[in-house]
Amino acid sequence: MKQKTVLVTGASRGIGREIAKLFAKNGYQVAVNYCLSQEQAESCVDEIQQQGGTAMMIGADVSNRLEVHNMIKQVYQSFGTIDILVNNAGIAQQKLFTDLSEQDWINMFDINVKGVFEVTQAVLPPMIRQQQGNIVNISSMWGVTGASCEVHYSAAKAAVIGFTKALAKEVGPSHINVNCVAPGVIQTQMNDLLSQQTIQTLKEETPLGRIGTPKDIAELVLFLASEKASFLTGQIITADGGMTI
């Protein structure tokens, strides 16, 4: 059977890196996108190749239309196809709403929302021509419930949820599935600023008694991109240990 290709945005670190490694382990060719962390993207590709997998790395800021266009071109040149897109790249910021600058707002929406728009729009036409494809967007539980001191992040992640549902309706007739994972608190650099005490409180507030790991999210994304989930589209799956139920 022909090897499938997955493009994972923001795969140099954290959740995206784990997604890239898990897809590689499961026989996919992996395109590892990064923006600033070139060395970490290199080590992700090295790790995959050392385990016998196939991967390439491509630097691109997902919010930059030209860089995204060039990235997609490179993936096509190397792998010939993109079967699965994981829109994972994202930034977070904690600030009182009244302290947010216009630039804070713009950065948040540029990367977390415009980035999803740019990469998806670049990848979709060939998927529509092939009448197959799978897109998984990474939102956040805060996009579902809203978080204090993260109004811009919550609003951006809510936009990803609306994007997912609308696009799923539009491209369903082309046999393209579009789903979304809304993670809870996951142990990555994004949460480095949280104190040990805050982490402890978060664990206590979570029915499953722990915060999540990148692997928790990667396994779910792998499932959503697989044949096993072929009748799922437009779904928002919250993976938060029960924190928001």
Task: Dump the DSSP string for 171-194.
Answer: HGGGTEEEEEEEE-SBSSGGGTTS
Options 4, 8, 14, 221; binder of ligand NAP; rule CB under 6 A: 14
Measured from the CB atom, the residue of 83 and 118 that comes closer to ligand NAP is 118
Q: How many residues bind ligand NAP (CB under 6 A)?
A: 31
Report if residue 86 touches ligand NAP, rule: CB under 6 A. no
Task: Provide the 3-class DSSP secondary structure of residue 240.
Answer: coil
Q: For residue 162, with 0-12 CB atoms within 10 Å meaning exposed, 13-18 middle and 19 or more buried, which class applies?
A: middle
153 as an active site residue: the answer is yes
Report if residue 190 touches ligand NAP, rule: CB under 6 A. yes
Nearest distance in Å: CB 130, ligand NAP: 25
- Which among 96-104, 122-130, 179-187, 226-234 is the span making contact with ligand NAP, rule CB under 6 A? 179-187
Report if residue 154 touches ligand NAP, rule: CB under 6 A. no
Options 4, 5, 8, 16; binder of ligand NAP; rule CB under 6 A: 16
Measured from the CB atom, the residue of 133 and 143 that comes closer to ligand NAP is 143
Report if residue 185 touches ligand NAP, rule: CB under 6 A. yes
Options 91, 155, 194, 199; binder of ligand NAP; rule CB under 6 A: 91
Options 13, 21, 114, 152; binder of ligand NAP; rule CB under 6 A: 13
3-state secondary structure 40-54: HHHHHHHHHHHCCCE
Residues 149, 94 contacting (CB under 8 angstroms) = yes
Report if residue 89 touches ligand NAP, rule: CB under 6 A. yes
Q: Kindly provide the b/e burial profile for residues 125-152, where b requires at least 16 CB atoms within 10 angstroms of the residue's own CB.
A: eebeeeeebbbbbbbbbbbbeeeeebbb
Residues 20, 46 contacting (CB under 8 angstroms) = no
Token couple for 100: 């947010």
Residue 113 per-residue DSSP state: I
Chain residues in the site for ligand NAP (CB under 6 A) = 9-10, 12-16, 33-37, 61-63, 88-92, 111, 115, 138, 140, 183, 185-186, 188-191
